[in-house]
Structure 1
Amino acid sequence: MPTEKKRIQKDIVIIGAGMAGLTAALYAGRMNLSVLVLENALVGGQIANATGIENYPGLPNVAGKDLIATVQQQAESFGAVVDEFDMIEKVSLQEDRKIVETESCIYEAGSVIIASGMERRKLPLPEERKYAGKGVHYCELCDGHLYQDKVIAVMGGGNAAVDAANFLTKYAKKLYLLHRSKLRADESAQEKLRSNEKVEILLETEVTALKGEKRLESVEVLDKATGEKKELAIDGIFVNIGVTPNTALFQADIKLAEDGRIVAGEDCRTNIPGVFAAGDVRHKEVRQLTTAAADGTIAAILAEKYLAQIRKGK
């Protein structure tokens, strides 16, 4: 017979350990609440991959992993527990005591803060599955080291793609940046990439096919301006073509917007009392590192107020 899972009581369970989730943990911990942060991928989310952040107040230039490590240490110094190895299987949020069930435990909490962020959109080609992990990658921080002195391509034109390309130049013998239109990344990041002699930027270019025997060996690309197709010999491609919100776990309980993000106002309150949404997973117009931190702050403070009201009512 399967072993019965241990039930653990917490004041707040935070789902996601990006900037929003860790900031919420920092504030909640400082208010003497018992706090658990659950993360099923890299702590820090997408920002952990940023090689140089220049628009975070007070820090002229900081690596994403260093900034995240600092915030995590602050949160843990106030008693928050960060667990990145226990996958969430299901949640039940409608009742006063919220349930978050992982592979090993069942957590009961008075409040839940959803800061689950987003994940990168998969390359929309039929061969993607064949080469996933065998030349097609979505995390340069995880897999970039596999391509020391190799030819690397990065697909995408936003900040995430250009940051990834700048990061991967430390490994690449040659690096292509491929994008179907103009670059949208910050000018400073673009300039850094353009000044690197290893880099060739191909705009108005679409990847139309992946090729190789047991692993990726080349990509077929289309020059949209001329209609010409050609093949680029590469060892790996890192894909940054947009993101999808991580909200599948919450569809039964939480109101979602058309884009799949969670409907919550600037107070981060969702349609369920005691459940808050923070960071990129929240439906909002502006999504920046500073706004993620702001969401985490607001969610934690209002979650504490919610818990105090519940205790007072009892």
Structure 2
Amino acid sequence: MKKIFDCIIIGSGPAGYTAAIYIARADLNHILYTGPIPGGQLIKTNEIENYPGFPKGVKGYLLMENFKKQAEKFGTKIYFNNVIDINFKLNNIHEILLDNNKKIQTKTIIIATGAYPKYLNIDNEKALIGHGISTCATCDGFFFKKKDVAVIGGGDKALEEAIFLSKLCNRIYIIIRKSKMRASKIMQKKIYNINNIKLLFNFEIKKIIGKKKLEYLICKKNYSNEEKKINVKAMFLAIGNSPNTNIFKNKISLDKNGYILTKKNSTKTNIPGVFAAGDVKDKIYRQAITSAGTGCMAAIEVEKYLSSLDLDLDLDLEE
């Protein structure tokens, strides 16, 4: 007889690992599948200063390693597989297909697949990824020591990237398409105190020039015909994220931007036994701590759902 798990957790960021910690402590039979980036986007974050419990800050990869160790301590089995397809609700059981063609059956699923960086979607951008264009300054900034570089975006992530690069690079241009930044005030104060960072408001990238590697950028100022050539050897994109929900399209309720819709004050989706946590459902806060919080919520709701399911089975009633 094929084994049926109590819960499968898809994703290994703060939401997935937090859910695993609570699910494990509830003594439920479960597995966590990490997906393509074990630890999620935080492993690419150099310094996290606003996660409670770390007054001196903490490296992103260290924080996620601690999450992982804590989940494993309580018995979570972690596998480095990708989920490539899901059949929801097969006789009250959900079935997932892994990248090794293995099929797993489970009573509940917690989707914590997070999000991925957005691109500008202009000519030459994808061709130069890895050759001067990057979405991770902490990963690739070292290769551009003492060079001029650009960061695209005006949020906390963009400013964090710029601050990191300011310690390595000659000059950092932050290119912002609006007239002001949307980053937190404390991050903005830090930026204004760094001499080798230059802010360019109301500019958008129009052309990316380079054959085998990035040579320079052509920017156009909004509401005018003014163009500016920026000689940089690297461009770091920090313009937001899109949810990792491609495999769930037409299978679960999503909003127009692809985020999973959940019931108010809940992680419940439109499918009984399926819950969503973290950035895959959150397009407002998108913080490590809020992701962890929804991971906790999802695990508690899984427990309640399984209890109600067991009660229904005892009474020989349909769900």
TM-score for the superposition, normalised by structure 1: 0.89
Q: Could you tell me which of 226, 229, 253 is aligned with 1:228?
A: 226
Q: Aligned runs of 1:262-273 on 2, under 5 Å? A: 262-265=260-263, 266-273=265-272
Offset of residue 70 of structure 1: 1.7
CA contact (8 A) 1:35 1:79 kept: no
Q: CA 1:190 to 1:283, structure 2 compared with 1: closer, same or farther past 3 Å?
A: closer
Of stretches 291-300 and 137-146 in structure 1, the one that deviates more from structure 2 is: 137-146
Query: In the alignment, residue 298 of structure 1 is paired with which amino acid?
Result: M
Deviation sequence 1:100-159 (CA, Å, 0-9, x none): 211113222221101111111111212212212222212334333333333321100111
In the other structure, the counterpart of 1:216 is 214
Determine helix, strand or coil for the equivalent of 2:255. coil
Whichever residue aligns with residue 250 of structure 1, its letter is F
- CA apart distance, 1:301: 1.3
Q: Distance in 1 between matches of 2:283 and 2:117?
A: 19
Quote how far apart the aligned CAs of 1:230 are.
2.1
Residue 134 of structure 2 corresponds to residue 151 of structure 1: no
Are 1:171 and 2:168 counterparts?
Answer: yes
In 2, Cα distance between the equivalents of 1:80 and 1:194? 45
**SS of structure 1 residue aligned to 2:89:** coil
Query: How far has the Cα of 1:203 moved from its partner?
Result: 1.6
Q: Tell me the residue number matched to 1:42.
A: 37
* 1:109 partnered with 2:109: no
The residue type equivalent to 1:116 in the other structure is T
Q: Structure 1 stretch 266-275 or stretch 133-142: which is displaced more?
A: 133-142
Aligned to 1:186: 184
- In terms of mean alpha carbon deviation, does 74-83 or 281-290 score higher? 281-290
Q: How many residues align?
A: 307
> Compared with structure 1, are the counterparts of its residues 248 and 8 closer, same or farther at alpha carbon in structure 2 (3 Å cutoff)?
farther
- CA deviations on 1:199-238 (whole Å, 9 max, x unpaired) are 2222222111000121111111123376421211211111
2:94 to 87, 98, 105: 98
Q: Is the 8 A contact 1:49 1:164 kept in 2?
A: no
Between the aligned partners of 2:143 and 2:241, the Cα distance in structure 1 is 24
Q: Is the 8 A contact 1:263 1:283 kept in 2?
A: no
Question: Taking structure 1 as reference, are residues 155 and 285 closer, same or farther at Cα in structure 2, changes over 3 Å only?
Answer: closer
- State percent identity of aligned pairs: 34
How much is the aligned-residue C-alpha RMSD, in angstroms?
2.2
Selected match of 1:244 from 242, 245, 253: 242
Q: Give the distance between the partners of 1:307 and 1:117, measured in 2 at CA.
A: 25
1:160 aligned partner: 157
SS of 1:175's equivalent in the other structure is strand
Of the structure 1 ranges 39-48 and 25-34, higher mean CA displacement relative to structure 2 is found in 39-48
Gaps of 5+ in 1: 1-6
Gaps of 5+ in 2: 315-319
- Higher mean displacement: 148-157 or 164-173: 164-173
Instruction: Provide the C-alpha distance between the structure 1 equivalents of 2:196 and 2:154, rounded to a whole number of angstroms.
Output: 18
